[in-house]
Amino acid sequence: MLCFMSAKRSDLKLLGGWFSPFVTRVKIALNIKGLEYENIEEDLNSKSDLLLRSNPVHKKIPVLIHGDKPICESSIILQYIDEVWSNGPSILPQDAYDRAIATFWVSYIDDKLFVCMWNILMAFEDEEERKPHFEQLEEEVLVTLEVAFNKCSEGKPFFGGNDVGFIDIALGSFLPFLYVLEKMNGKKVLTVDKFPELENWTTNFIANSVVIETLPEIDDKLVLFCKAFRRKWVTAKAAAK
Amino acid sequence: MADEVVLLDFWPSPFGMRVRIALAEKGIDYEGREEDLSNKSPLLLKMNPVNKQIPVLIHKGRPISESLIIVQYIDEAWSNNKSPLLPSDPYQRANARFWADYIDKKIYSTGRLVWGTTGEVQEKAKEELRESFRVLEKELAEKTYFGGDMFGLVDVALIPFYSWFYTLETTANFSITEEFPRLVSWAKRCMQRDSVSNSVPDQYKIYDFLLDLKKKMHSIE
């Protein structure tokens, strides 16, 4: 029987934001499966009723709405997409053990890499405060991910093998944010000398057909957005004290 | 065979409890090894070099870390078993994962603050914990378990923290039983399952352990 993925208009809405790495993850996953969707741009300063209704617990993007069912949290959304559209190319590995390993690394990326980069952004104005977070990024987190890449890729271009997979999406979605931090701090971190495999991987990732047009441009608009986001967050935190 | 499955564990750990419960639900034979967290074994450091934490499940020599990842792995690797821990419908699975993730984000770190701090910091943490319990009670509603009739991932994720209730109530001077009766009924229901009662230590034992831990922490200062 001939099976093919048609990009038919499935009832999909993505509540998202151009700047959000977590939203980017969902866009890449939908591209992998060849799915059409309605992209709804949220203003985080004025969240829509739809967003508040669809994610009442966290009130965050991304939310994927399939028919009338909302699914929240980017890794959970990716697993959902993979399970529903199981006929398309896989996002997660087929084998249970490999799946557990992939989920472990995505968890690591969210718990360690993201938190580290967040801390660097928040300490933007204070070099002394930034230093230990940069050290952690360069000497611990990226080193660990370089080793992970070698293990997972087994000589192939992506963590997922020949194709972009779960770990690639989770890590790759943070690249624009990483480049912004490098720009803002005047310091390149993901260098080919220290991280040859990861650096090579970034080139392959960004050029991949499912990724093109999902990542925000690394330009002044994104840098300004990050600075404004940081200012707002720091002000809100100070006000809460 | 018991030597195919090894669990590196620490008896008071709620994360370790989750894995014990999952293994018991599936009727899986395993070798449980108690770790001394102040003197971690070479095996633990080898099997979880990234986080160096328990629990670690070692299945046929291959390690899996992170309690919820282990529980889902157990469900998938022993999937022809009659006790599924996750539903088969993708949307219900996403929902189960969402609530397990909520519990991971909200209960442990806030609970630790309630236990470990005093004054304003403790009061704020107490309020946050109350809010989380409120949200969880709302989600539970009139159901037997979080997943409905089936004991599953969300129940496994949350029930270990029942062993903390006495400690939290005593330390922060509030009654979880009075404020969240539905949650406590659910917990008692879960504790009636052998898999749970054999995996989750008695609340007073945990209280003594945590009291001891506090004394040790203060004597270091």
Q: Is B93 on the interface with A (CB under 8 A)?
A: yes
Higher pLDDT, B19 or A125: B19
Residue B92's CB is within 10 A of a number of other CB atoms, namely: 15
Cα gap B204→B207, rounded to integer Å: 5
Contacts of residue B104 in chain A, CB cutoff 8 Å?
A: none
Closest-CA residue of chain A to B121: A241
Residues 6+ apart with CB under 8 A from A226: A19, A121, A177, A180, A184
Q: State the pLDDT at residue A172.
A: 98
Return per-residue pLDDT of chain B as tens, 221 residues: 455 999 999 999 999 999 999 999 999 999 999 999 999 999 999 999 999 999 999 999 999 999 999 999 999 999 876 789 999 999 999 999 999 999 999 999 999 999 999 999 999 999 999 999 999 999 999 999 999 999 999 999 999 999 999 999 999 999 999 999 999 999 999 999 999 999 999 999 999 999 999 998 888 76
Residue A90 has pLDDT above 50, yes or no: yes
Residue A10 has pLDDT above 80, yes or no: no
A201-227 exposure pattern, b = at least 16 Cβ within 10 A, e = fewer: bbeebeebebbeebbbebeeebeeebe
pLDDT band, very low/low/confident/very high, at A220 (cuts 50, 70, 90): confident
Q: State the pLDDT at residue A185.
A: 83
Tell me if residue A12 falls in helix, strand or coil: strand
Q: Is B45 on the interface with A (CB under 8 A)?
A: no
Q: State the pLDDT at residue A8.
A: 45
According to DSSP, the residues that pair with A14 across neighbouring strands are: A39, A64
CB B65, CB B13: distance < 8 Å: no
Could B91 and A73 be called an inter-chain contact, meaning their C-beta atoms sit closer than 8 Å?
no
- Please classify residue A236 by burial: count the beta carbons closer than 10 Å to its beta carbon, then call 0-12 exposed, 13-18 middle and 19+ buried: exposed
Q: Outline where chain A has alpha helix (H).
A: 21-32, 49-54, 74-84, 96-108, 114-122, 127-136, 142-153, 166-172, 175-185, 196-207, 220-240
Alpha carbon of A17: minimum distance to chain B alpha carbons (Å): 21
Residue A2 has pLDDT above 60, yes or no: no
Residue A7 has pLDDT above 50, yes or no: no
Could A104 and B94 be called an inter-chain contact, meaning their C-beta atoms sit closer than 8 Å?
no
Q: State the pLDDT at residue B221.
A: 60
Q: What is the mean pLDDT of residues A196-212?
A: 96
Alpha carbon of A15: minimum distance to chain B alpha carbons (Å): 17
Contacts of residue B77 in chain A, CB cutoff 8 Å?
A: 96-97
Residues B102-160 pLDDT 10s = 999 999 999 999 999 999 999 999 999 999 999 999 999 999 999 999 999 999 999 99
Cα gap A54→A50, rounded to integer Å: 6
Residue A79 has pLDDT above 90, yes or no: yes
C-alpha distance across the termini of chain A, in Å: 64
Residue A48 has pLDDT above 50, yes or no: yes
Q: What is the mean pLDDT of residues A158-178?
A: 97
Q: Is the ipTM of this complex over 0.90?
A: yes
Out of A79, A100, A108, closest to residue B64 by CB: A100
Q: State the pLDDT at residue A184.
A: 83
